[in-house]
Amino acid sequence: MQDNRVLVTGGAGFIGSNLANHLATDNHVIALDNGYLGTGENLDDAVEYVEADVLDEELPTDVDVVFHLAALSSRQMLEENPREGARVNIEGFVNVVEQASDDGCDTIVYASTSSAYGSRTEPSPEDMELEAATGYDASMLGRERYGEYYNEFYDDLTCAGMRFFSVYQGYGGNEQHKGEYANTVSQFTDQIANGDPPVLWGDGSQTRDFTHVDDIVRGLVATAEHELAGVYNLGTGDPYSFNEMIDLINQTLGTSVEPEYEPIPLENYVHDTCADISRIHEATGWEPQVSFADGVRRVCEPYLQDD
Which residues participate in catalysis according to the annotation?
Answer: 136
- The sheet carrying 5-9 orders its strands as 48-51, 28-33, 5-9, 65-68, 107-111, 158-164, 230-234
- Listed in sequence order, the residues at least 6 apart from 56 whose beta carbon sits closer than 8 Å to its beta carbon are 95
Whole-number Å distance between alpha carbons of 272 and 23:
33
Instruction: Give 127's DSSP letter.
Output: T
Single-letter code of the amino acid located at 63 = V
CA atoms within 13 A on the CB side of 23: 33
Whole-number Å distance between alpha carbons of 142 and 127:
16
- Listed in sequence order, the residues at least 6 apart from 171 whose beta carbon sits closer than 8 Å to its beta carbon are 182, 186, 189, 190, 299, 302
Q: What phi-psi label fits residue 147: left (phi over 0), alpha (psi between -120 and 50 degrees) or beta?
A: alpha
For 266, counting Cβ atoms within 10 Å of its Cβ (0-12 exposed, 13-18 middle, 19+ buried), the class is exposed
CA atoms within 13 A on the CB side of 58: 0
| C-alpha distances out from residue 136 to 7, 61, 76, 77, 91, Å | 24, 26, 8, 8, 14
Whole-number Å distance between alpha carbons of 170 and 5:
29
Closest CA to 111 of 134, 129, 88: 88
Q: What phi-psi label fits residue 170: left (phi over 0), alpha (psi between -120 and 50 degrees) or beta?
A: left
